[in-house]
Amino acid sequence: MSRNGLSSRHSSTRRFQVESLEDRRLLAAQPAVALSAPAQVMIGEDFQITATFDNADATDPGFGPFVDLYIPVNGSDGVAGSGVDGIAFSGANYLGASIATTLLTFPDDGGGFGSVVHPYAVDATGTPLTVLGAAGDQLAVLQLPFGSFTAEQPPADIVIDMHLSNLADLGQPLNLRARAGFEFGNDALANPSVDPSLVSAGTSASGWTVAAPVEPTLIQLRKIYSGPEDETATGPNFPRQYTIEIDVADGQTVTNLDVVDLLPNNLEAISIDSILPS
């Protein structure tokens, strides 16, 4: 006890040894894809689209690149299994060489929708990811011919052959959708508990924001100037010619077709040389 009746306080100091850890950064490869497709496609004809794969991260590579392509086989009003009037997958290539493709058809798990099991992508437990889509539509999983894809690597263009049904609804756009992924994530090991697959969009294909609408069309028309250059002198000594090309979709018939060519007031129609076929 101290003189004033209060107990004295004793303080002690403990020293901790702290070891500095090695600086580490989180790997973050970012699979990305863009779609390019013709705005209009002739009913019943073949066409091509391009899926451009890229790693959007500034520094980190990704391993096992692939592209998921959602294909509206049913069309705008088709029903799975009958009356489909949409788009069919024909094949895919990179620089002219065919690439490995897994084509999956969505089942009807109830309400007209179903899920397919992804052939490559897994979650942190090693369970394969699933993709949800409309029954009868298809998912094409395109495996790129690279073990990895670095940040410095130029984007890879995958050319995809498609066919539009001859029953497609005129003027009703059909949406192709895509997402990108890395099967092994940020390293080359199959270690999903620490490095699961990476995908650029979620489970439901209808929510994939990378999309390319394709509008079925019946007739395409082009007007071509057949003169020697893009300008001309005026007057009757300098007649010039235009050709109007009309393309009707394969297997379709158009009757009583009228073509109206509205000329500006500084042009005069002289004659029509020929109509082929007549």
DSSP letter for each residue of 112-157:
TEEEEEEEEEE-TTSPEEEEEEETT-EEEEEE-S-SEE-SSSPPEE
Which pLDDT does position 2 carry in this prediction? 47
Which pLDDT does position 270 carry in this prediction? 87
Give the bridge partners for 216, in sequence order: 41
Which pLDDT does position 234 carry in this prediction? 85
Cβ atoms 112, 75 nearer than 8 A: no
pLDDT band for position 12 (50/70/90)?
low
Q: 153 pLDDT exceeds 80?
A: yes
Q: How far is CA 255 from the centre of its chain?
A: 37
Omega before 72 within 30 of 0, i.e. cis: no
Q: How far is CA 148 from the centre of its chain?
A: 20
Q: 8 pLDDT exceeds 50?
A: no
Domain ranges of the chain: 31-217
pTM: 0.84
DSSP state, residue 20:
P
Q: 26 pLDDT exceeds 80?
A: no
Name the residue with higher pLDDT: 83 or 257. Answer: 257
Q: Mean pLDDT across the stretch 43-67?
A: 98
8: helix, strand or coil:
coil
Q: Is 135 left (phi over 0), alpha (psi -120 to 50) or beta?
A: beta
Give the DSSP H or E segment for 91: strand 87-94
**What confidence tens digit (pLDDT) does each residue in 219-249 have?**
999 999 888 887 888 888 888 888 999 999 9
Query: 31-217 belongs to which homologous superfamily?
Result: ntegrin, alpha v. Chain A, domain 3 (2.60.40.1510)
DSSP letter for each residue of 189-225:
S--TTTS--EESS-SBGGG--EEEEEEEESEEEEEEE
From CA 198, how far away is CA 180, in angstroms rounded? Answer: 8
Which pLDDT does position 15 carry in this prediction? 58
Q: Mean pLDDT across the stretch 205-218?
A: 98
% of the chain at pLDDT higher than 70: 89
**What confidence tens digit (pLDDT) does each residue in 56-96 have?**
999 999 999 999 999 999 999 867 767 789 999 999 999 99
Which pLDDT does position 25 carry in this prediction? 43
Give me the residue label for tokens 């990704």: 62
